[in-house]
Amino acid sequence: MAGSHAEDVDGYLAEVADPDRVTALVRIRELCLTRLGDHEEVMAYGMPAYRRPGGEPEIAFANQKQYISFYLMRPDVREAFGERLADQDMGKGCLRFRRAERIDFALVEDLLKAVAAGPGESC
């Protein structure tokens, strides 16, 4: 579902057919809204994203064909969590959760807390 043309996050979530994935994506969204209080929720690059007012997205998530993606666009936070991220399925800045029921929501929440703690450069 990468590259959605939904106008908002509710529309994006409505496009997801798998109920387990919807539940997981809604939980990620709720964590983002709770932990990133000063961030704006926007659609960017066809997926839900969170940015400081006027800034670039720092966090995003997406429902992909084979997995749920959690994009951490802050290199400083990725480096700070290097040990915890080492055994995760991760690209340059994207955590890939291949099964919705195996998402490490505690890790996601800790990453969000670190992003919320202060501004940083987004890649």
Spatial separation of the C-alpha atoms in residues 75 and 103, rounded to whole Å: 21
Q: Tell me the per-residue pLDDT of 55-93, one tens digit each, with 9 for 90 and over.
A: 999 999 999 999 999 999 999 999 999 999 999 999 888
Quick check: 96 and 69 in contact, CB under 8 A?
yes
User: Could you tell me if residue 120 is inside a domain?
Assistant: no
CATH number of the domain within which 40 lies: 3.90.1150.200
Taking 70 as the threshold, does the pLDDT of residue 2 lie above it? no
Structurally, the chain folds into a number of domains equal to 1
Q: Specify which residues 95 forms β-bridges with.
A: 70, 90
In a domain, 123, yes or no: no
Q: What is the pTM of this model?
A: 0.93
Question: Is 4 within a domain?
Answer: no
Q: Is residue 68 part of a domain?
A: yes
Q: Does 1 fall in a domain? A: no
Residue 44 structural domain: 9-115
Distance CA 120, CA 67 (A): 27
According to DSSP, the β-strands at 57-63 and 94-97 are unpaired
